Structure 1
Amino acid sequence: MGAFLDKPKTEKHNAHGEGNGLRYGLSSMQGWRVEMEDAHTATVGLPQGLDNWSFFAVYDGHAGSRVANYASKHLLGHIITHSMGPPGPEGVTPAPAPAVETVKMGIRTGFLKIDEHMRNFSDLRNGMDRSGSTAVAVLLSPEHLYFINCGDSRAVLYRNAHVCFSTLDHKPCNPREKERIQNAGGSVMIQRVNGSLAVSRALGDYDYKCVDGKGATEQLVSPEPEVFEIERALEDEFVVLACDGIWDVMTNEELCEFVKSRLEVSHDLEKVCNQVLDTCLHKGSRDNMSVVLVCLPNCPKVSEEAVKKDRELDKFLESRVEEIIEKAGEEGIPDLVTVMRNLSSESIPNLPPGGGLASKHSVMEAVYKRLNPHREVDGNGVDLEDPW
């Protein structure tokens, strides 16, 4: 379940890059959790002659970060080995790109092999470390997108101005997952495996993978990923990978519409990803948060009109915060939460779709701090002198 801090840690880890006709940005934040258990992978240009392939992934750890961190460094290597075979001698012409079914089988085998490999680590084998991790990824070849999912992190493809594809969350209540769990002698209670674990597929979690007579993919928790192959199209705009700290508070459509609106006002993909995390924090997410945004050639471009509207919205919100504080007068200065509540009851035009007022929290907070420099406000917009 995880313990929580008194106030969220909002410092972010960022990265960005480009190549192979794409750009990417990523951001991760600890948030309200006591530990940061997320990890990620972002690789443009792969070994084994796959220079024009790329790989991105998000890993959402639980009960510790060991499995997530190890997978972020080594899962790709296992996938490539089982898709392409071991590296050949230097100077030898690389083998042709593997067939689609070979790649899909290599991905599945790579997951099973890394899970088997990690099981031999002494701390995981002896139960000193009971960590596990989801994994969601996209492997891009020149012709295909391979979406890979194990757990309840999620990937979406935005194509031709709508959500074209989404991976399926592996939850214990899903009929297929529940059947496997029960066949392995387990149960699903309060939507969790044996009343405890909230995901039905994951790397690690070896306490749930010790049923005699059952194979690796027949255990209470399975390390087997689902792999979906989609042909690339000119209309592809972007792919978003995120952990459930994001999806807990935003739907597929909301997140994609918000990302689209932010891409129309900024080229900076790190900034866009940071805005996603901040917006989810102010929408109420209490989990670690990680997001990877992969922009394809047809991704939304910055629009002068969109930039103008966004600036006008910021100025309007700044003026409204000033007005609310000025009108308070003798009644006393309201805390920022009260200001936000007042504004949420108003009909404000041109708020970012999917993000709403929460996505403009930093604008309003900046005005509030300028007008009330001696009042302390934490990273979630709660006035610490007068918490609600």
Structure 2
Amino acid sequence: MCTHTATQKPYQLARFFNNQSMALLSPPRLLPLGSGATRICVSKVGVRCAATIAAADGAVTDVSRIRWGSTKLQGPRSEMEDDVIVRSDGLDGFSFAAVFDGHAGFSSVQFLRDELYKECSLAVQGGSVLNSKNIDAIKDAIQLAFTNVDSRLSSWLQEREDESGATATVMFIRNDLLIVSHLGDSAVVISRGGRAEVLTNPHRPYGNNRVSLDEVKRIRAAGGWISDGRICGEISVSRAFGDIQFKTKKNEMLAKGVEDGRWTEKFASRVQFKGDLVTAMPDIYTTELGSNSEFILLASDGLWDYMKSSEAVALVRNQLRQHGDVQLACEALALTALNQGSQDNISVAIADLGKTKWDELPVQGPNILLELSQAFATVGIVSVGIWISSFLVASY
């Protein structure tokens, strides 16, 4: 962390700007260690932070020739509330992968890690429903599983007086078919011949996209309101497991807001709740995986808030072309997001579909327009820094 004061001398400021200019021209450095170890990440401005990299259980499997990599990384936050799991048993040729992103504690994530797979496996009848090709039956089964788990979790949280919650994005994947059940703001991206295809939309109560506008409409119809992009000024995701204060304990939440001075008693008297403000009803997506489908990337918003889907796909492709190790590619992706400024925890799962001969893949050519724009931007920042430092030195 760098601090600056008003008494800093001009030549010190000049040295600062020159150092920042050189940092902008240098790529982030990743200091590699073995999986499960602590790595030191060096950011573009020289900030060092320890990050724990852990491979999830069952990170590699040969179901349908799919190879897996999975990583969870604790960023600058004081607590790790993410988790990622990969399972390849009991689903009749399908693998199961899920990323959980917790908030207000880790309890909900712990519950979901153990229970969501069990409930989903039961609902899809050990995979037979997934293999039926009946889209309506698949959606009904998965939505029922999510609803049942949330009901059980809510009762469990209420007994513990725990107000935690968690988003969850789940993949059921076979070599030729992908089924996604999505709740929250993690995301799934497919690489099709190097082109990034984003399957999911974040459930957030702000923004001008159709999904966000629909979420705001649903929340207001249920008697809620949006303040500073948060439901009742509290939570920035509109679909999640748990979060009982926005489901079964809404009136208690409203009364506590009056006690805490967040709103007036007159305002609270006018609120009439008509439904859950946060819901555990997932969006379901299905897509076929043709010959050009290379890999599937599932990650929490700690990655996507700091990296474009096209950048993530390009990085993973280049990693796999270099060494073919999907676990190493997974770790490199998470570390790159941290080096690009992510302030959140990061969880990633990558499924290499086994359809691409990575050692035969040609080197991906540079994006000339992108590199030129970045170069001009860098030169502009450097020039401004030099001009300011020269002006300050001259006037000193």
Common fold by TM > 0.5 = yes
The aligned counterpart of 1:151 is 184
Assess, with a 3 A threshold, how the Cα gap between structure 1 residues 300 and 27 changes in structure 2: closer, same or farther: farther
Q: Please state which structure has a larger fraction of its residues in helix.
A: 2
CA distance in 1, matches of 2:241, 2:356: 32
The aligned counterpart of 1:162 is 195
Assess, with a 3 A threshold, how the Cα gap between structure 1 residues 127 and 233 changes in structure 2: closer, same or farther: same
Letter in 1 for 2:225: S
The aligned counterpart of 1:178 is 216
CA distance in 2, matches of 1:96, 1:287: 34
The aligned counterpart of 2:60 is 17
* Alpha-carbon contact 1:9-1:29 (below 8 Å) kept: no
CA distance in 2, matches of 1:171, 1:118: 22
The alignment partner of 1:32 has SS state of: coil
Letter in 2 for 1:75: L
The alignment partner of 1:294 has SS state of: strand
The aligned counterpart of 1:27 is 71
The alignment partner of 1:264 has SS state of: helix
Deviation (angstroms), 1:176: 0.7
Of the three residues 76, 83, 92, the one matched with 1:51 is: 92
Whether 1:119 and 2:154 are equivalent positions in the alignment is yes
Of the three residues 106, 109, 112, the one matched with 2:141 is: 106
Task: Kindly tell me the number of residue pairs found equivalent between the two proteins.
Answer: 297
The alignment partner of 1:258 has SS state of: helix
Across the aligned residues of Structure 1 and Structure 2, the Cα RMSD in angstroms comes to 3.1
* Alpha-carbon contact 1:7-1:32 (below 8 Å) kept: no
The alignment partner of 2:239 has SS state of: coil
* Alpha-carbon contact 2:302-2:343 (below 8 Å) kept: yes
Deviations 1:313-358 (A, max 9, x none): xxxxxxxxxxxxxxxxxxxxxxxxxxxxx9x948xxxxxxxxxxxx
Of the three residues 105, 125, 131, the one matched with 1:64 is: 105
Structure 1 gap segments, 5+ residues each: 1-5, 88-93, 310-341, 347-388
CA distance in 2, matches of 1:39, 1:304: 32
Assess, with a 3 A threshold, how the Cα gap between structure 1 residues 301 and 143 changes in structure 2: closer, same or farther: closer
Identity, in percent, stands at 29
Structure 2 gap segments, 5+ residues each: 1-46, 207-211, 252-271, 366-374, 380-396
Following superposition, which runs of at least 4 residues in structure 1 exceed 4 angstroms of deviation? 211-215, 303-307
CA distance in 1, matches of 2:78, 2:229: 24
Deviations 1:44-69 (A, max 9, x none): 23x2xx33111111000011111112
Query: What's the TM-score once normalised by structure 1's chain length?
Result: 0.70
Deviation (angstroms), 1:202: 0.3
Letter in 1 for 2:227: M
Query: What's the TM-score once normalised by structure 2's chain length?
Result: 0.68
Of the three residues 34, 39, 45, the one matched with 2:83 is: 39
The alignment partner of 2:351 has SS state of: strand
CA distance in 2, matches of 1:63, 1:143: 38
Deviation (angstroms), 1:128: 2.9
The alignment partner of 2:155 has SS state of: coil
Assess, with a 3 A threshold, how the Cα gap between structure 1 residues 95 and 245 changes in structure 2: closer, same or farther: closer
Whether 1:194 and 2:218 are equivalent positions in the alignment is no
Deviation (angstroms), 1:302: 2.9
